[in-house]
Amino acid sequence: MGLTFNRTSLLTTASLCTLILLTLLYSAMGHVFWWGWPALTILISLSIFRLSVSQLVLTPLSTAIFIYSILMWTNIIFINPAVHIEGIYFVCFFFFSFLLGRSLTLQERNTFLSITISVFCIFSVWAVFQYLTGFGYIIDAGYRANTVYTTPNLYAAAINVLLVPLIIYRFGKSEHKLLDIIIPILFIGLMVSQSRGGWIAFCGGITTGLLLLKITGNLRLNKKTWLLLLNCIIIFTVIVIYHSTEKNLSLVTRTDKTANENIKSTVENTVKFTSIAHRLHFYKIAWQQTKQHPLFGNGYFNYKYFLNRDNSAELARYGTTHFVHNDYLQHLLESGISGLICLLLIIITFYYQAFRLLRDTDKESHQTQLILIVACITGVFIHALGDFLLYVPGIMLFAGLTLGYFDQLCSTKDNLVLHQLPLYPRKTFNLLKSLTLIFIIFSISLPVAARHFSLASDSAYTLKRYTDAFRLIQWAQHLAPYEEQYLYAEARLWLKATRDQQNIEAANKAEELLINAINKNPFEKYLLLERSKLHRDYAHLLEDPVSIDQVLEWQQEVLAWQSKIKNNAAQIEYIKTLQRAGRNREANKMMAEFRQELIQNSRLRGLLNQALKPKQSD
């Protein structure tokens, strides 16, 4: 595992560097179109162009990953009532990273590893700066370091992908002075993330690797060193737990309770007020919804909608999220039992191949290489129990490449090969690769183009070029017909014309577009809110207006699905509709309650005063 910087070609090196940069920017900024699309385009191009006829080999692991990816894409496009481009990109990052990993040579793997280690050493220095000064944050994470990742836990997970195998390699029968510098730098980066999940995954990966080294006879540790290592793990575990619950401890020790009561209260407060409580609440919501569609799930990337339907006080304290913070439970929720089985099949086939290959390999260097991979991936599987690693390209790129390289090693063993795909003539195979690449790149580019047409439409409308605005947004709809946002974007243009001109045609066109958008994504309740406002304020322009009672029912549905605490606009509109219906007593009562909730928020209080003109109680 030499950290050499020899390049097989300038193009490969440049592509790998660009891929790492764009993927990390995607993880930081979270923008599919500006960072996700170019990163995925480079990844797909590399993985397909480097594919050779000799690599068309099916192993248990590659078969499991192929089945898993097909099921996820099927769920996203055909089963899910709401298509999410992010979901397609997440699965693509995993699948094509795995495909690229299968084609990497040893030298190319070392090149990629060297670049990645260098980047994360810089990140560790940056993380220490964040932790000590409180500055340098792209995304605020409190007192914890996160560098380019959205949360400190994800940053810790990414570091573990590198740190765990490096430590295992150092504990093996190897000498590498550079590792004695790199490992402490990365380890400090892990510590300042203050991630309990990251630390548990680290300990799990290290323990797995050391045990395998011990079993294979490649470990050079005596009993004293083992004892020292165990003590260090215990000490650092206490430090991580203490710092992550420090506020709770100080809160409890300020009381006049006995020692036993203090301990009990500390445990209760830790569970109640830290991220443990967040996750327990998220798990509860996910498990309840899982029972509705157990076989094929509730749709990929739809968890946020079901969480928003929860109006409990916990949601107000924790906020909303797309993620259950447990990848296994989220797969059960979104893709059902079938999706969870496919995910578990990847884990089972990975360990099956690993231990079969480890048993049949006598060469020490090959054994050590396998153990590094097992330790690394074990850490990822463990951390996925408490976070959303399978939804982060900046982690899935590294994990997918590792699994792909591992499967490449397994494909050389006849007893691990299930099937050799047909060997096509070279020209035919290259033609198939080119056509496949063109089709995939074209497909993932359509939503990007649709987004640009939508932005151009907004600009044209601002410049009062109305004909161009409508034409551009309709082009966006043709390019991405499964997305409701472009139907809503055109509906907004017609709604503005309805307000400005009291135009009958505009009102009915907006109604048609809103109905179509709701049918494409029934979970986005802001669409129903807009439709209710249209029927309440412009019923005289519509061909088939609904009653005011129906409008109230629609708005009650919006409030039931999107937390009242988080959805202030829906509450305001509901109060206005109550007033329109002559139910002024209810409107005034609800408005008083709403004012009380927002008494500390001057901006929202001003919004209330502008939007509402209270009437006298009837």
pLDDT at site 211: 86
The tens digit of pLDDT for each residue in 267-305 reads 444 444 456 777 888 898 899 899 888 898 888 888 888
Please determine, for residue 225, whether its predicted confidence score (pLDDT) is greater than 80.
Answer: no
Please determine, for residue 336, whether its predicted confidence score (pLDDT) is greater than 60.
Answer: yes
With tokens 């509450």, the residue in question is 571
pLDDT at site 219: 65
Dist. CA 354–CA 373, nearest whole Å: 9
Please determine, for residue 262, whether its predicted confidence score (pLDDT) is greater than 60.
Answer: no
Please determine, for residue 218, whether its predicted confidence score (pLDDT) is greater than 80.
Answer: no
User: 426 CB contacts (<8 Å, ≥6 apart)?
Assistant: 53
Q: Looking at 36-143, which runs of residues are DSSP E strands?
A: 57-58
Dist. CA 502–CA 513, nearest whole Å: 18
Please determine, for residue 364, whether its predicted confidence score (pLDDT) is greater than 80.
Answer: no
The tens digit of pLDDT for each residue in 169-197 reads 887 766 677 888 898 899 999 989 988 88
User: Contact, 421 vs 54, CB < 8 A?
Assistant: no
The single-letter code of the amino acid at 71 is: L
Q: How far is CA 536 from the centre of its chain?
A: 38
DSSP string, 226-288: HHHHHHHHHHHHHHHHHHHTHHHHHHHHTS---HHHHHHHHHHHHHHHSHHHHHHHHHHHHHH
pLDDT range class, residue 221, cuts 50, 70, 90: low
Dist. CA 331–CA 324, nearest whole Å: 9
Dist. CA 423–CA 426, nearest whole Å: 9
Choose the weakest-confidence range: 151-155, 316-320, 436-440, 547-551.
Answer: 316-320
3-state helix, strand, coil in the chain (%, to 5): 75, 0, 25
Closest CA to 123 of 215, 48, 21: 21
With tokens 């050079």, the residue in question is 220
Closest CA to 163 of 376, 399, 371, 378: 376
By percentage, how much of the chain surpasses pLDDT 90? 33
Closest CA to 90 of 300, 253, 333: 300
pLDDT at site 249: 43
pLDDT at site 533: 92
The tens digit of pLDDT for each residue in 423-470 reads 667 788 888 888 999 999 998 898 889 989 999 998 998 888 888 999
Q: Is 350 helix (H, G, I), strand (E, B) or coil?
A: helix
Please determine, for residue 593, whether its predicted confidence score (pLDDT) is greater than 90.
Answer: no
The tens digit of pLDDT for each residue in 414-423 reads 777 777 766 6
Dist. CA 535–CA 552, nearest whole Å: 11
Cα 494 to Cα 500, 543, 554: the distances in Å are: 10, 15, 21
pLDDT at site 510: 93
Q: Is 590 helix (H, G, I), strand (E, B) or coil?
A: helix
The tens digit of pLDDT for each residue in 147-161 reads 989 889 999 999 999
The tens digit of pLDDT for each residue in 4-32 reads 444 446 777 788 888 988 888 887 766 66
pLDDT at site 317: 56
pLDDT range class, residue 586, cuts 50, 70, 90: confident
pLDDT range class, residue 316, cuts 50, 70, 90: low
Cα 130 to Cα 3, 127, 153, 176, 182: the distances in Å are: 28, 5, 15, 30, 19
User: Contact, 413 vs 353, CB < 8 A?
Assistant: no
Query: Cα torsion for 302, 303, 305, 310, to the nearest 10°?
Result: 160
Task: Kindly report the pTM of this predicted structure.
Answer: 0.85
The tens digit of pLDDT for each residue in 60-94 reads 999 999 999 999 999 888 888 787 777 888 899 99
Region 371-390 average pLDDT = 93
Dist. CA 154–CA 127, nearest whole Å: 13
Q: Judging by beta carbons within 10 Å of its beta carbon (0-12, 13-18, 19+), is residue 291 exposed, middle or buried?
A: exposed
User: 544 CB contacts (<8 Å, ≥6 apart)?
Assistant: none
Mean pLDDT across the chain: 81
165's torsion region: left (phi>0), alpha (psi -120 to 50) or beta? alpha
> Phi then psi for 232, rounded to 5 degrees?
-60, -45
pLDDT at site 53: 64
The single-letter code of the amino acid at 427 is: K
Dist. CA 185–CA 183, nearest whole Å: 5
User: Contact, 370 vs 361, CB < 8 A?
Assistant: yes
User: Contact, 507 vs 542, CB < 8 A?
Assistant: yes
pLDDT at site 126: 94
More confident residue, 592 or 567: 592
Q: What angle do the packed helices 525-537 and 484-501 form, to 10 degrees?
A: 20
pLDDT at site 129: 93
Q: Looking at 99-205, which runs of residues are DSSP E strands?
A: none
pLDDT at site 267: 43
Region 520-540 average pLDDT = 90
DSSP string, 400-436: HHHHHHHHHHHTT-GGG--EEPP---HHHHHHHHHHH
pLDDT at site 306: 84
Highest mean pLDDT: which of 22-26, 242-246, 383-387, 577-581?
383-387
Q: Is 220 helix (H, G, I), strand (E, B) or coil?
A: coil
Dist. CA 562–CA 304, nearest whole Å: 10
Region 225-249 average pLDDT = 59
Q: Looking at 352-479, which runs of residues are DSSP E strands?
A: 419-420
Please determine, for residue 403, whether its predicted confidence score (pLDDT) is greater than 90.
Answer: yes
The single-letter code of the amino acid at 191 is: M
User: Contact, 212 vs 375, CB < 8 A?
Assistant: yes
Please determine, for residue 47, whether its predicted confidence score (pLDDT) is greater than 70.
Answer: yes
With tokens 């049918």, the residue in question is 519
Region 466-481 average pLDDT = 91
The single-letter code of the amino acid at 398 is: F
Choose the weakest-confidence range: 14-18, 125-129, 530-534, 562-566.
Answer: 562-566
Dist. CA 507–CA 503, nearest whole Å: 6
With tokens 């690693």, the residue in question is 389
Task: Return the structure tokens found at 552.
Answer: 């109230």
Query: Number of C-alpha atoms within 13 angstroms, CB side, residue 128?
Result: 11
By percentage, how much of the chain surpasses pLDDT 70? 80
User: What number of helices (H) and strands (E) belong to the chain?
Assistant: 26, 2
Closest CA to 337 of 304, 294, 367, 371: 294
Q: How far is CA 502 from the centre of its chain?
A: 43
More confident residue, 540 or 7: 540
With tokens 């795909």, the residue in question is 421
More confident residue, 116 or 320: 116
pLDDT at site 613: 52
Rg of the chain in Å (alpha carbons): 28
User: Contact, 389 vs 396, CB < 8 A?
Assistant: yes
Closest CA to 82 of 533, 525, 557, 473: 525
